[in-house]
Amino acid sequence: MSSSYDVVIIGAGPAGSSAGYHLAKAGVKTLILDKAEFPRYKSCGGGIITRSDKFIPYDYSSVVEQECNTALLADLTVKKEFFVKRDKPVVRMVMRDNFDEFAIQKAIEAGCHFNDNITVRDINYKSDPCVELNNEKIFCDKIIGADGAFGITTRVSGHFKHLTAIPAMEIELNVDHATFRRFNNIVRFDFGLVENGYGWVFPKKEHLSIGVLSFSTGKYNLNQLLQKYLHAININTKDYQRHGFKIPILPTTKNFAYSNLLLTGDAAGFADPITLEGIGTSILSGKLAADAIIKSSGDSSKTGARYNRLLKKELLHELKYACFLSNVIYNHPAIRKFLFKNMGALLCEKMTDVITGDKTYFEYLSKPSNYIRLVTKLISK
CB of 124 to ligand FAD, least distance (A): 14
Q: Closest CB to ligand FAD among 319 and 339?
A: 319
Q: Closest CB to ligand FAD among 13 and 203?
A: 13
Q: Closest CB to ligand FAD among 147 and 339?
A: 147
CB contact set of 155 (below 8 Å; sequence gap of 6+): none
**Residue whose C-alpha is closest to residue 213's, from 70, 329, 82, 57:** 329
Residue 316 one-letter amino acid = L
Q: Closest CB to ligand FAD among 43 and 296?
A: 43
Tell me if residue 282 falls in helix, strand or coil: helix
Distance CA 378, CA 338 (A): 10
Strand partners, 172: 209
Q: Closest CB to ligand FAD among 197 and 265?
A: 265
Q: Closest CB to ligand FAD among 122 and 366?
A: 122
Give the start-end residues of each E strand in 250-335: 257-258, 261-263
Contact 283, 15 (CB under 8 A): yes
Distance CA 202, CA 188 (A): 7
CB of 12 to ligand FAD, least distance (A): 5
Q: Closest CB to ligand FAD among 227 and 342?
A: 227
CB of 96 to ligand FAD, least distance (A): 7
CB of 268 to ligand FAD, least distance (A): 8
- Residue nearest ligand FAD (C-beta atom): 278
Chain centroid offset of residue 284 CA = 10
CB of 48 to ligand FAD, least distance (A): 6
Q: What are phi and psi of 237, to 5 degrees?
A: -150, 155
ω into 57 cis (within 30 of 0): no
Q: Closest CB to ligand FAD among 44 and 110?
A: 44
- Radius of gyration, alpha carbons of the chain: 21
DSSP summary character for residue 212: E
CB of 171 to ligand FAD, least distance (A): 9
Q: Closest CB to ligand FAD among 241 and 301?
A: 241
Give the start-end residues of each E strand in 24-126: 30-33, 47-49, 64-68, 70-75, 80-85, 91-94, 113-115, 122-124
Contacting residues toward ligand FAD, per CB under 6 A: 10-16, 33-36, 42-47, 119-120, 146-148, 151-152, 168, 170, 211, 245, 247, 265-267, 271, 277-280, 282
Residue 100 one-letter amino acid = D
CB of 157 to ligand FAD, least distance (A): 13
CB of 277 to ligand FAD, least distance (A): 3
**Residue whose C-alpha is closest to residue 316's, from 371, 353, 263:** 263
CB of 91 to ligand FAD, least distance (A): 8
CB of 36 to ligand FAD, least distance (A): 4
DSSP summary character for residue 251: -
Within the chain, what is the greatest distance between any pair of CA atoms? 73
DSSP summary character for residue 37: P
Q: Closest CB to ligand FAD among 110 and 274?
A: 274
DSSP summary character for residue 160: G
Tell me the pairing of strands 164-173 and 64-68: unpaired
